[in-house]
Amino acid sequence: MPALTIKNIPDSLYEQLKTAAELHRRSINSEVIVCLEKILTPTKITPADRLSRIEQLRSSIKTNRITLEDIEQAINSGRP
């Protein structure tokens, strides 16, 4: 298995990593691997789940339909 050495880690980042490792009861090395997997491994979503999410988002969007009358009123409101 390949090995990786990371140099010049900012102290604050290392402390966050160390705290997360302790919280999850992992070594720092294992915590780094888990973090990398979360970021680099794409989550697979089924087309049905994606469509369901799209429908949820669409239903949450309020539509403010602009009518032709609204446009004409906006145009005419700036004219003397």
C-alpha dihedral, 70 to 72 to 58 to 45, nearest 10°: -160
CB atoms < 10 A from the CB of 31, how many?
A: 20
Q: What pLDDT digit, counting tens, does each position of 12-34 carry?
A: 999 999 999 999 999 999 999 99
Q: What pLDDT digit, counting tens, does each position of 31-75 carry?
A: 999 999 999 988 888 999 999 999 999 888 877 788 888 888 888
Q: Which SS3 state, helix, strand or coil, does residue 79 take?
A: coil
Tokens of 74: 């906006």
pLDDT of residue 63: 76
Please name the residue that has the structure tokens 């004219």.
79
- What is the rounded CA–CA span in Å between residue 73 and residue 52? 39
Tokens of 32: 């780094």
Is it the case that residue 7 has pLDDT exceeding 90? yes
